[in-house]
Amino acid sequence: SHMIEADVIMRGRDPKEPIMAHPPDSDSDITLREWLEQVKVTNKGLKLDFKSLEAVPPSLTLLKEVLAEPSCPVWINADILSGPGGKATPLEPQAFLSAVSGLPGHIVLSLGWTTGWTAATENPGYDWNMVHVMERICRDLKHPVTFPVRAALLAQSFPQLSWLLQQSDRYTLTVWTGRSDAFTLQDLLHYKAEFDISRIYYDLPDPLRAKLCTTSQDDP
């Protein structure tokens, strides 16, 4: 993969500082500062996934300090709206966006919906209200925006996500999958056929990504 991803939260005890941990964990032996120092030398892209609002300002200060001359892509990710089947509480959109608004213009904002997926049931896709609200939030942003979308929900969301992508050439999709999600390659090929290669990123297991790259919609 070309990106190194990390979940960032505030440590639950003193010294309070941004750490690399996935809730419900509230402590970790790796601080964000240490992690940034380590990955800086790899020249890979960085994706910081924020699970709490309070971690955002101190993390961005560190980011500016440690990556004073960023030579690699930097993505800042957060779920800011409730999406299909989403049970987790999203971060408050305006609070998150005002925290990141001062970032340099090349940094990509990865703005998503909380989602859920349950096997052997009808899982609803991203509906019109979800994409309309997201578009209103992102309309006046200066940064490039990528929308992380769950692969298993794509087949039932094509009109909505197509519309969203068409609203600005700053917008892209990033397709990701949960560990036990079920979907077919065909679900993704519709998007691949419809949109330029530059508009969709695939954050998928390598074998699947390789297969996707070599398959077209017309293949049997």
Tens digit of each residue's pLDDT (9 = 90 or more) over 132-156: 999 999 999 999 999 999 999 999 9
Q: What's the CATH number for 3-214?
A: 3.20.20.190
115 Cβ neighbours under 8 A, 6+ residues apart? 83, 84, 85, 86, 150, 153
Residue ranges covered by each domain of the chain: 3-214
Structure confidence at residue 1 (pLDDT)? 53
Task: Give the pLDDT mean for 186-212.
Answer: 91
E strand or H helix at 138, and its extent?
A: helix 128-138
E strand or H helix at 149, and its extent?
A: strand 145-150
52/55 Cα distance (integer angstroms): 6
Tens digit of each residue's pLDDT (9 = 90 or more) over 57-116: 999 999 988 877 767 889 999 999 999 999 999 999 999 999 999 998 889 999 999 999
Least confident of 60-64, 191-195, 214-218: 214-218
Report helix, strand or coil for 83: coil
Query: How many beta carbons lie within 10 A of that of residue 219, not counting itself?
Result: 9
153/94 Cα distance (integer angstroms): 26
